Amino acid sequence: MDRMTEVIQVNLTPTAVSKVQTFMAEHGASEEAGLRVAVLPGGCSGFQYGLNIEDAPEEDDEILTFEGVRLFIDPFSAQYLEGVEVDYVQNLMGSGFTFKNPTAAGGCGCGSSFAV
């Protein structure tokens, strides 16, 4: 594949990396598998984040690697994910992945929906 692209800056915290590694190991994910980080139309603020384990990247995906965890990011999502930090938190209210997006113009209480 011979294409010129800018590398998107997305960060996966050590806690998130550990959680993804554990999940992938428990589910027998292959070496080619990775975590798709996506932005989808919808949610209460206009866009929502999506995470999914996939067997392999799509042809036009940006592929980032964090301590052996591969992230797959499609071109549509890439424009909204620049500078995003993905973390995994556990507290009294529950546990799950969180997104810190420095370019989001707004969000809502659910933590997975944002506006630009």
pTM for the full predicted model: 0.80
Confidence of residue 93 (pLDDT cuts 50, 70, 90): confident
With a cut of 90, say whether residue 60 has pLDDT above it: yes
What are the b/e assignments for 47-63, b being 16+ CB within 10 Å? Answer: bbbebeeeeebeeebbe
For the chain, list the domains and their CATH numbers: 11-26+33-115 (2.60.300.12)
Helices (H), 1-116: 14-26, 75-81
Q: Mind listing the pLDDT tens digit for each residue in 10-54?
A: 999 999 999 999 999 998 989 899 999 999 887 666 788 899 999
Is 108's pLDDT higher than 80? no
Reported as a pLDDT band with limits 50, 70 and 90, residue 81 is: very high
Task: Tell me the mean pLDDT in the region 74-96.
Answer: 90
